[in-house]
């Protein structure tokens, strides 16, 4: 059988299982309203939590950097691709997050895979929450360390795994879980890590910018300083790329060991410039106003629509459906009524837990929540009363 025949066979199996994926097309700016497949819709599927992805200030910063730095870095940052904009962005991130060292990566996936596989290996142990992002899972696998996967937010299981292993240990968890919208007990994880001489790595991709003082995330809000904090520029910061905030020594080690950093062309300088502008906004009074709006919309969503999961303050509000085909039918019917909510199926979430993943931003309004509620009732996603 040819490779093409194999591909056709696999696609048919996915279709039969209700798990075939085909992306929709966005035109124009990302935002609370967007052009999806050629029509204007209420956009409740984005991670652009602070509504900065379409902000003209970020675009102007990028345009200026395009004039001076061009469209590409031209090489790995360790060759001749380490542009002044990259250095300035890492310094701005370090100042914002109050750490001594920051390393930029080209994506959150690259950051997690590269960092975990760089810092632990054969003979070491990684203890990982079962609902951690795929990039964390793959980083654990590539590290060749022993990987202990513990039930979601089960502190007893974390402690038992830590107590039964010697050698170097790394505890890794998301802070705000991307598909469930719930929050890890980062204070308890920090205590366990210290008690058992383990390092703590927190992925704050969905919390940075949205939660905590100056938008510094859940760890900062709880007074926790993890050994490694992973963040992204592609969500609340409205840009692209990712980073690891840590000590100066660990940041220097990543230059030498993180393969996804060492062997990748650097981010375009214009991207780095736009993210630095986003950080300035996030740290300002305007940034606090936007965080307040996100929290208000998160509460309003849950007040109006029954059955939504996630923490009350989380902009991520999943509605469990269960069946893979049904969830995509719901998503399609909502889109017909001008509301885009993405259906999420395995392998992104465990089998039998397909869901509508609703996400709100600072740019949404009370009337948007009402529109979603009415569309969900009309489509039979929720009960009429």
Question: Mean pLDDT, to the nearest integer, of 297-313?
Answer: 95
Q: Which of 83, 86, 206, 330 is catalytic?
A: 206
Q: Which of 55, 90, 129, 203 is catalytic?
A: 203
324-362 tens-digit pLDDT: 999 999 999 999 999 999 999 999 999 999 999 999 999
pTM for this one?
Answer: 0.95
Q: Which of 43, 46, 47, 117 is catalytic?
A: 47
Q: Which of 86, 169, 235, 364 is catalytic?
A: 235
Q: Does residue 47 carry a catalytic annotation?
A: yes
One-letter-per-residue 3-state SS of the chain: CCHHHHHHHHHHHHHHCCCCCCCCCEECCCCCEEEECCEEEEECCCCCCCCCCCCHHHHHHHHHHHHHHCCCCCCECCCCCCCHHHHHHHHHHHHHHCCCEEEEECCHHHHHHHHHHHHCCCCCEEEEECCCCHHHHHHHHHHCCEEEEECCCCHHHHHHHHHCCCCCEEEEEECECCCCCCECCHHHHHHHHHHCCCEEEEECCCCCCCCCHHHCCHHHHCCCCCCEEEEECCCCCCCCCEEEEECHHHHHHHHHHCHHHHCCECCCHHHHHHHHHHHHHHHCHHHHHHHHHHHHHHHHHHHHCCCCCCCCCCCEEEEEEECHHHHHHHHHHHHHCCEECEEECCCCCCCCCEEEEEECCCCCCHHHHHHHHHHHHHCCCCCCC
Average pLDDT value over all residues in the chain = 96
Q: Does residue 235 carry a catalytic annotation?
A: yes
pLDDT at 205: 98
Question: Can you give the residue ranges of every domain in the chain?
Answer: 18-47+288-378, 56-283
Domains 18-47+288-378 and 56-283 share a fold: no
Nearest alpha carbon to residue 131 among 304, 303, 318:
318
Report the CATH number of the 56-283 domain: 3.40.640.10
Q: Which pLDDT band holds residue 1 (cuts at 50, 70, 90)?
A: confident
Q: Which of 86, 133, 169, 330 is catalytic?
A: 133
Question: Mean pLDDT, to the nearest integer, of 197-202?
Answer: 98
Q: Does residue 133 carry a catalytic annotation?
A: yes
User: What share of the chain has pLDDT > 70, as a percent?
Assistant: 100
Q: Which of 117, 178, 274, 314 is catalytic?
A: 178
Q: Is the pLDDT of residue 284 over 90?
A: yes
Q: Is the pLDDT of residue 384 over 90?
A: no
Question: Mean pLDDT, to the nearest integer, of 194-220?
Answer: 98
Higher pLDDT, residue 18 or 93: 93
What is the CATH T-level fold of the domain 18-47+288-378, as seen in this structure? 3.90.1150
Q: Which pLDDT band holds residue 385 (cuts at 50, 70, 90)?
A: low
Q: Does residue 13 carry a catalytic annotation?
A: no
User: What share of the chain has pLDDT > 90, as a percent?
Assistant: 97
Q: Does residue 313 carry a catalytic annotation?
A: no
Q: Which of 55, 85, 90, 174 is catalytic?
A: 174
148-189 tens-digit pLDDT: 999 999 999 999 999 999 989 999 999 999 999 999 999 999
């Amino acid at each position: 059988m040819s490779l093409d025949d194999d591909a056709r066979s696999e696609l048919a199996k996915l279709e039969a299982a209700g798990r075939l994926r085909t992306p929709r097309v966005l035109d124009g700016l990302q935002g609370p309203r967007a052009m999806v497949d050629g029509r204007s819709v209420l956009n409740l599927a984005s991670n652009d939590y602070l509504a900065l992805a379409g902000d003209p200030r970020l675009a102007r910063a990028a345009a200026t950097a395009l004039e001076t730095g061009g469209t590409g870095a031209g090489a790995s940052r360790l060759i001749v691709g380490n542009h002044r904009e990259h250095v300035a962005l890492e310094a701005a991130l370090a100042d914002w997050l109050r750490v001594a060292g920051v390393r930029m990566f080209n994506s959150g996936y690259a950051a997690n895979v590269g960092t975990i596989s760089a810092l632990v290996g054969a003979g070491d142990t990684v203890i990982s929450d079962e609902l951690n992002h795929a990039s964390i899972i793959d980083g654990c696998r590539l590290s060749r360390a022993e990987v202990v996967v513990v039930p979601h937010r089960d502190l007893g299981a974390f402690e038992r795994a830590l107590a039964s292993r010697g050698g170097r240990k790394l505890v890794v968890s998301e802070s705000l879980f991307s598909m469930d919208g719930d929050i890890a007990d980062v204070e308890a994880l920090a205590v366990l890590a210290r008690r058992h001489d383990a390092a703590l790595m927190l992925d704050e991709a969905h919390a940075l910018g949205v939660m905590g003082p100056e938008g510094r995330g859940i760890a900062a809000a709880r007074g926790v300083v993890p050994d490694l904090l992973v963040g992204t520029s592609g969500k609340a910061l409205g840009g692209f790329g990712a980073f690891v905030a840590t000590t100066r020594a660990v940041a220097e080690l990543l230059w030498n060991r993180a393969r996804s950093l060492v062997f990748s062309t650097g981010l375009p300088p214009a991207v780095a410039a736009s993210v630095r502008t986003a950080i300035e906004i996030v740290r300002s009074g305007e940034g606090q106003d936007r965080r307040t709006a996100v929290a208000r919309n998160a509460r309003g969503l849950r007040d109006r629509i029954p059955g939504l999961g996630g923490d009350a303050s989380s902009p991520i509000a999943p509605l469990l459906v269960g069946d893979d085909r049904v969830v995509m039918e719901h998503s399609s019917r909502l889109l017909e009524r001008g509301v885009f909510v993405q259906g999420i199926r395995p392998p992104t979430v465990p089998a039998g837990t397909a869901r509508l993943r609703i996400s709100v931003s600072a740019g949404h309004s009370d009337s948007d929540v009402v529109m979603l509620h009415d569309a969900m009732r009309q489509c039979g996603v929720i009960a009429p009363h």
